[in-house]
Chain A
Amino acid sequence: MEYLEFRRILASDPDCRDEEFLRMKREDSKCAAAADAAACFERKLERALNVSQPDGLVDRIILGQTTPAASRRRRHAWSWAMAATIAVGVALGVSWRTITAPSDLASSVVAHLKYEAAALMRTEVVENNVIQARFAEFDYALAHQSGDALGAVVYAMRCPMPTGDGVHLVVRQPSGPVTVFFMPEHTMTADLSVDKEGVTGVVTPLESGSLALLGGTSDERAALARLLRDSIVSRSDSQHVASL
């Protein structure tokens, strides 16, 4: 068996028990590396497919076996009514993405904040050039040294966001830390309020991408949003302006 054949089998049947396949996986370093990468992908795939079954489904199945069909069919009617409602939404130009995205986005940013809750406790101020470097990774810059104007930025990291990577900042404000997510690849058209699991905030559109601001007071978030909206510029634009 050649390497390409090994890869073909690996991508279609990762648990193949063929002896020759297993021998190559064991003895050939290139095959072993490909098998490791495939195993990693399979774990991600299993995780993605692993949705919870609704509470009480088994009980309903067992109960349903002794219940007249009419009572079971009520859910169908409800489902089709819901489907019809959504279909009307689609006919009116509302896509699946716009129906589902807001709660998904709010949940994602809140979960991200909680996952990196330790960042909220930081006190050491991050240098402006580090903040600029984070934005530069996405070909953006903070204009007019607004890294300083932001106040005490105590955390600045590149992080995965719901749609592509972005910049995660924590900015100390009088009322406490405000978490800022700059999501260059997430476009939206209107503000989204966030109020989940004790976290309040807003996700707001930018000319390019969007900005989530969580924690602090609404005035602090609004002031930071104004400042960042004016300051975040594409590097090509900022270089063009500087050269004039």
Chain B
Amino acid sequence: MPVQKDMSKRQAQFDALARSYSTDLFRYAVWLCRDPALAEDLVQETFMRAWRAIDKLREVKAAKGWLITILRREYARTFERKSLDIVEMDEYLLADEQDFSPAERTETAQLRAGMMKLDRKYREPLLMQVIGGFSCEEIADLLGVSKSAVMTQLFRARQQLKARLGEESDEVLRGVS
């Protein structure tokens, strides 16, 4: 009986993780590997590994970072060398745009095209910040780099995306970063 109780507790914990974080994890994976089909596989594999290691998760507030770490390892292990930079994103990307004005559609398309071209070292910290909601310190921990390196990468990522929109660039600040 105690074994069954433990199993149902683990199952409930896993279900809660899947329901709470699958959306953010999928978004992260899409922009990491730039391929929705691979992203879905990546998320499923991530949760399978999370299930096997769920006893190692001590704090609920660390769950998202823990899942992203698993996802990044899984990406490096399985997909990174095979992944192509060529994907069919339309059906996923356009699905969200029904209520967009033409200007919003154009800006969104330009930013998405910019994200597709952004170097991974700039793209990933930005994903962690915008989708993951992590602080610069947390991103530095997850990526194993210094906080100042993270801030520079985030600055340059935004600079490149702003240039796509033709917005005022922070060129004047380049030297400062």
Q: What residues of chain A have their CB less than 8 Å away from a CB belonging to chain B? A: 4-5, 7-9, 11-13, 37, 41-42, 44-54, 57-58, 60-62, 64-65, 69, 72, 75-76, 78-80, 82-83, 86-87, 89-90, 96, 99-100, 103-104, 107-108, 111-112, 115-116, 159-162
Stretch at the interface among B58-66, B68-76, B93-101: B93-101
Which one of B35, B43, B100, B106 has the greatest number of beta carbons of chain A within 10 Å?
B106
Is B89 close to A, CB under 8 A? Answer: yes
Asked if B176 and A5 sit within 8 Å, CB to CB, the answer is yes
A11 to chain B, nearest CB (A): 5
A26 to B170, alpha carbons, bound, how many Å?
21
Query: Among A57, A72, A103, which residue has its beta carbon within 8 angstroms of that of B90?
Result: A103
A164 — nearest CB in chain B belongs to which residue? Answer: B106
Chain B residue contacts of A41, Cβ below 8 A: 158, 161-162, 165, 167
Is B87 close to A, CB under 8 A? Answer: yes
Chain A residue contacts of B44, Cβ below 8 A: 57, 60-61, 64, 72, 75
Would you mind naming 14 contact pairs between A and B with Cβ atoms under 8 Å apart? A12-B158, A13-B154, A37-B167, A44-B108, A49-B127, A60-B44, A61-B22, A61-B47, A62-B14, A64-B48, A83-B38, A100-B88, A160-B105, A162-B105
Asked if A50 and B84 sit within 8 Å, CB to CB, the answer is no
Asked if B162 and A75 sit within 8 Å, CB to CB, the answer is no
Which one of A11, A12, A100 has the greatest number of beta carbons of chain B within 10 Å?
A12
Query: Among B35, B87, B173, which residue has its beta carbon within 8 angstroms of that of A8?
Result: B173
Is B172 close to A, CB under 8 A? Answer: yes
Secondary structure dominating the interface of A: helix
A180 to B36, alpha carbons, bound, how many Å?
33
Which one of A69, A76, A87, A162 has the greatest number of beta carbons of chain B within 10 Å?
A76
Asked if B130 and A104 sit within 8 Å, CB to CB, the answer is no
B146 to chain A, nearest CB (A): 13
Chain B residue contacts of A65, Cβ below 8 A: 14, 47-48, 51
A127 to B48, alpha carbons, bound, how many Å?
65
B166 to chain A, nearest CB (A): 9
B15 — nearest CB in chain A belongs to which residue? Answer: A62
Chain A residue contacts of B31, Cβ below 8 A: 49
Chain A residue contacts of B105, Cβ below 8 A: 108, 111-112, 160, 162
Which one of A53, A57, A87, A160 has the greatest number of beta carbons of chain B within 10 Å?
A53
Chain B residue contacts of A8, Cβ below 8 A: 151, 155, 170, 173, 176-177
Contact string against A for B residues 139-177, beta-carbon threshold 8 Å, 1 for contact and 0 otherwise? 000000000001110110011011001011010110011
A51 to B108, alpha carbons, bound, how many Å?
11
Is B131 close to A, CB under 8 A? Answer: yes
B96 to chain A, nearest CB (A): 6
A116 — nearest CB in chain B belongs to which residue? Answer: B102
A51-B30, A100-B90 given; A57·B173 CB < 8 A: no
A57 to chain B, nearest CB (A): 6
B129 — nearest CB in chain A belongs to which residue? Answer: A13
A225 to B39, alpha carbons, bound, how many Å?
42
Asked if B106 and A160 sit within 8 Å, CB to CB, the answer is yes
B175 to chain A, nearest CB (A): 9
Chain A residue contacts of B115, Cβ below 8 A: 48-49
B70 to chain A, nearest CB (A): 13
Known: A83-B84, A160-B102. 15 other contacts (CB 8 A): A12-B151, A12-B158, A13-B129, A45-B111, A45-B158, A47-B108, A49-B27, A49-B131, A51-B93, A52-B95, A83-B86, A86-B87, A111-B102, A111-B105, A112-B102
Asked if B27 and A53 sit within 8 Å, CB to CB, the answer is yes
Closest 5 CB pairs of A and B: A48-B111, A12-B154, A53-B26, A160-B106, A12-B151
